[in-house]
Amino acid sequence: DAGVTQSPTHLIKTRGQQVTLRCSPKSGHDTVSWYQQALGQGPQFIFQYYEEEERQRGNFPDRFSGHQFPNYSSELNVNALLLGDSALYLCASSLARYFEQYFGPGTRLTVT
């Protein structure tokens, strides 16, 4: 039973560029949530997708956007990258919106 997978593992971008991160949920899960984790901090909620729609959003600017596909996989897009966007981006999946979330290994984004 495959767990949550994310790609790529690492990414280096330049300020002002755009980036797309990808996530495949655990088998049988239909809800995907995205988190940003800065070094030494707990994960911060970005947004959650269910039935291909954004259902909840944390305190992140509109530069952060996402998408969920019919197969429940998801993408996180960040536009106009800032140095402060450097972080570990985590994807988590769950069976329905209010059940426990299982995390992927993350994508380490470095903005230079």
Partner 1 sequence: GQQLNQSPQSMFIQEGEDVSMNCTSSSIFNTWLWYKQDPGEGPVLLIALYKAGELTSNGRLTAQFGITRKDSFLNISASIPSDVGIYFCAGQWQKLVFGQGTRLTINP
- Catalog residues that contact partner 1 under the rule CB under 8 A: 4, 33, 35, 41-45, 48, 56, 58-59, 90, 92, 98, 100-106, 108
CB closer to partner 1 out of 42 and 70: 42
CB closer to partner 1 out of 67 and 108: 108
CB closer to partner 1 out of 13 and 102: 102
Check residue 69 and report its DSSP letter. -
Smallest distance, partner 1 to C-beta of residue 104, A? 5
CA distance 33 to 105: 14
Cα four-point dihedral sign 70, 30, 44, 35: negative
SS3 sequence, 4-61? Answer: CEEECCEEEECCCCCEEEEEECCCCCCEEEEEEECCCCCCEEEEEEECCEEEEECCCC
Smallest distance, partner 1 to C-beta of residue 48, A? 7
Query: 74, 4 in Cβ contact below 8 A?
Result: no
CB closer to partner 1 out of 2 and 70: 2
Smallest distance, partner 1 to C-beta of residue 70, A? 24
Smallest distance, partner 1 to C-beta of residue 69, A? 21
